[in-house]
């Protein structure tokens, strides 16, 4: 029996490892994994755990191991051992409870020692399989994100020893992996929000499919603390449908839109009920229109809000050129009322502005070309330092084995003794020695 338990534990661990090892954790130009990338890994781990055999929770596999809180799987410990006696005792307790509730005599499920032992063996195998799945996730996730990230949960407070598999949950390990991701900038989050709001529908597919995609993108924004509610989603839905009604491929939506406008005013605050009513109305039009007649989203199906944003962006990008054209045009039209000297002065100013902008652009390009593109130093990566340097990794100040000079702030973080720069030779980051002849 003990051999079967260990076999089940090892087999489940290997199955989970093999499944997660097929996943790829994407990184950015700095070699850091992003917030979106680790969330994709989390979904992949959920799929792997759902696929594991678990008769105690049919249809859900072992995905509850990732939950925060107490459940049938997170309560399992590696040291749990179920005996025939405990099975008989629990069966009798359940039978007595049912007898009291129904007023009839209910016999226990297990009455003999043999039956109880078989049930105990079955439960022990399931419990050890759960522990094997937990071990597989921990090992695979540590390999993906790095042990320096997961050690915050897997090791003791002083980092000297590993914790037992029973001393932490997969939720805690997953959370520390998400917290260790390279966070997006505020502008990146805003750009993703605008993409959801300006989401163009692909009318080669049904409205329900487009709506599911938009809701999925909106749910992703919740991980950044941005909640896109039903009123905003409904507005984007109706804007896309309204644009489609102006084309031949969307003429079937016209009667549906008339019914929707008649039922809901423009300032109606939509909720789940009204959204479902709208989708039901549009589903009828979806059933009779020819999906293949609709163009791709980038071929004119984007609604007017997105077109306006694109137009404003293009205006901002070309604002300098437009101002020059405007200024030249003004000079040409005002020649009759101004002197030739003023016109020439304006032209000289325009040429100077163009020349100055060209020089500034050239300087920025040169500085960018001279700058290292990516920090590949493993020591900097360990301490989340993104700024690249030109020295070899062996001479990096964040390398604990480096014997040269390092800044006091770095010494404090590495917990090493600080030495003044004057005590080091020039090849170890110290000051270069001057000859006596040079000093005279």
- Is 396 in the same domain as 281? no
- Is 362 in the same domain as 415? no
- Is 33 in the same domain as 128? yes
CA pair distance 97, 24, nearest whole angstrom: 51
Single out the residue of 221, 216, 215 nearest to residue 192, CA to CA: 221
Q: Is a pLDDT exceeding 60 seen at residue 222?
A: yes
CA pair distance 440, 435, nearest whole angstrom: 9
Q: What is the DSSP letter of 405?
A: -
- Is 54 in the same domain as 113? yes
Q: Is a pLDDT exceeding 80 seen at residue 4?
A: no
Domain final residue, candidates 347, 370, 393: 370
Sort 415 into a burial class: Cβ within 10 Å, 0-12 / 13-18 / 19+. Answer: exposed
- Is 269 in the same domain as 344? no
- How many domains does one find in the chain? 4
- Is 295 in the same domain as 351? no
- What is the pLDDT averaged over residues 123-130? 89
Q: Would you state the structure tokens that stand for residue 230, as one six-digit string?
A: 């039903």
Q: What is the DSSP letter of 289?
A: S
pLDDT digits (tens, 9 = 90+) for 156-177: 888 778 899 999 999 999 999 9
- Is 215 in the same domain as 307? yes
- Is 132 in the same domain as 33? yes
CA pair distance 177, 42, nearest whole angstrom: 10
Secondary structure element (H or E) that encloses residue 350, with its range: helix 340-370
CA pair distance 314, 310, nearest whole angstrom: 6
Lowest-confidence pick of 33-42, 43-52, 331-340, 394-403: 331-340
Share of the chain residues as helix, strand and coil, in percent rounded to the nearest 5: 65, 0, 35
Q: Is a pLDDT exceeding 50 seen at residue 300?
A: no
CA pair distance 177, 67, nearest whole angstrom: 15
- The separation between the first and the last C-alpha atoms of the chain, rounded to the nearest angstrom, is 89
155 three-class SS: strand
Answer whether 52's CB lies under 8 Å from 65's CB.
Answer: no
CA pair distance 204, 293, nearest whole angstrom: 7
- Is 421 in the same domain as 286? no
Q: Which residues on neighbouring strands pair with residue 34, listed in sequence order?
A: 182
- Is 17 in the same domain as 140? yes
Q: Would you state the structure tokens that stand for residue 324, as one six-digit string?
A: 């020059």
34 three-class SS: strand
CA pair distance 293, 299, nearest whole angstrom: 12
Average per-residue pLDDT in the chain? 81
- What is the pLDDT averaged over residues 414-436? 79
Higher pLDDT, 14 or 359: 14
Q: Would you state the structure tokens that stand for residue 237, as one six-digit string?
A: 């839905």
Q: How confident is the model at residue 299 (pLDDT cuts 50, 70, 90)?
A: very low
- What is the pLDDT averaged over residues 230-246? 91
pLDDT digits (tens, 9 = 90+) for 75-117: 989 888 888 888 888 888 888 888 888 888 888 888 888 888 8
Q: How confident is the model at residue 415 (pLDDT cuts 50, 70, 90)?
A: confident
User: Would you say the C-alpha torsion 176, 182, 183, 184 has a positive or negative sign?
Assistant: negative
- Is 190 in the same domain as 170? no
CA pair distance 22, 15, nearest whole angstrom: 11
Answer whether 173's CB lies under 8 Å from 141's CB.
Answer: yes
Answer whether 128's CB lies under 8 Å from 11's CB.
Answer: no
Single out the residue of 183, 239, 185 nearest to residue 210, CA to CA: 239
Domain final residue, candidates 370, 388, 408: 370
Distance of CA 357 to the CA centre of its chain: 38
Q: Tell me the residue range of the domain where 361 lies.
A: 321-370
pLDDT at res. 368:
62
- Is 339 in the same domain as 425? no
- What is the pLDDT averaged over residues 402-408? 86
Q: Is a pLDDT exceeding 80 seen at residue 323?
A: no
Q: Is a pLDDT exceeding 70 seen at residue 330?
A: no
Residue 145 Cα distances to 31, 174, 176, 320, angstroms:
11, 10, 10, 45
CA pair distance 229, 161, nearest whole angstrom: 46
pLDDT at res. 263:
92
Which range scores top for mean pLDDT: 21-25, 311-315, 412-416? 21-25
Q: Alpha helix (H) ranges present in 264-339?
A: 272-286, 304-317, 319-333
CA pair distance 39, 144, nearest whole angstrom: 13
């Amino acid at each position: 029996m003990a051999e079967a338990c260990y076999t089940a534990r090892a087999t489940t661990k290997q199955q989970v490892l093999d499944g997660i090892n097929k996943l790829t954790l994407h990184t950015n130009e700095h070699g850091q994994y992003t917030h979106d990338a680790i969330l994709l890994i989390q979904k992949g781990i959920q799929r792997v755990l759902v696929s594991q055999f678990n008769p105690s929770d049919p249809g859900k596999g072992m995905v509850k191991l990732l939950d925060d809180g107490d459940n049938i799987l997170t309560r399992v410990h590696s040291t749990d051992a179920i005996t025939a006696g405990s099975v008989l005792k629990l069966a009798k307790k359940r039978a007595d409870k049912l007898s009291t509730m129904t007023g009839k005599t209910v016999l226990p499920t297990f009455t003999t020692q043999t039956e109880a032992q078989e049930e105990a063996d079955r439960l022990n195998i399931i419990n050890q399989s759960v522990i094997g799945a937990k071990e597989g996730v921990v090992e695979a996730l540590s390999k993906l994100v790095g042990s320096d990230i997961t050690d915050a949960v897997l090791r003791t407070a002083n980092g000297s020893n590993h914790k037992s598999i029973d001393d932490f949950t997969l939720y805690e390990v997953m959370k520390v992996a998400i917290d260790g991701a390279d966070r997006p900038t505020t502008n990146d989050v805003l750009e993703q929000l605008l993409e959801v709001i300006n989401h163009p529908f692909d009318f080669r597919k049904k409205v329900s499919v487009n709506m599911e995609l938009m809701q999925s993108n909106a749910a992703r924004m919740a991980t950044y603390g941005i909640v896109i509610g039903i009123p905003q989603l409904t507005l984007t839905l109706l804007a896309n449908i309204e644009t489609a009604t102006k084309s031949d491929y969307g003429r079937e939506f016209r009667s549906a839109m008339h019914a929707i406008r008649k039922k809901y005013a423009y300032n109606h605050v939509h909720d789940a009920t009204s959204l479902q009513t709208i989708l039901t109305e549009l589903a009828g039009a979806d059933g009779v229109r020819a999906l293949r007649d609709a163009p791709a989203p980038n071929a004119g199906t984007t609604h007017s809000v997105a077109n306006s944003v694109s137009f404003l962006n293009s205006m901002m990008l070309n604002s300098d050129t437009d101002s020059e054209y405007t200024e030249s045009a003004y000079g040409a039209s005002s020649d009759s009322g101004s002197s030739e000297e003023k016109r020439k002065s304006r032209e000289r100013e325009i040429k100077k502005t163009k020349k100055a902008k060209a020089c500034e652009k050239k300087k920025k390009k040169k500085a960018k070309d001279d700058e290292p593109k990516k920090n590949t130093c493993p020591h900097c990566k360990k301490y989340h330092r993104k700024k690249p340097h030109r020295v070899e990794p062996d001479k990096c100040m964040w390398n604990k084995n480096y014997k040269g000079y390092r800044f006091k702030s770095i010494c404090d973080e590495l917990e090493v003794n600080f030495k003044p720069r004057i005590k080091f030779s020039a090849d170890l980051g110290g000051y270069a020695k001057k000859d006596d002849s040079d000093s005279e």
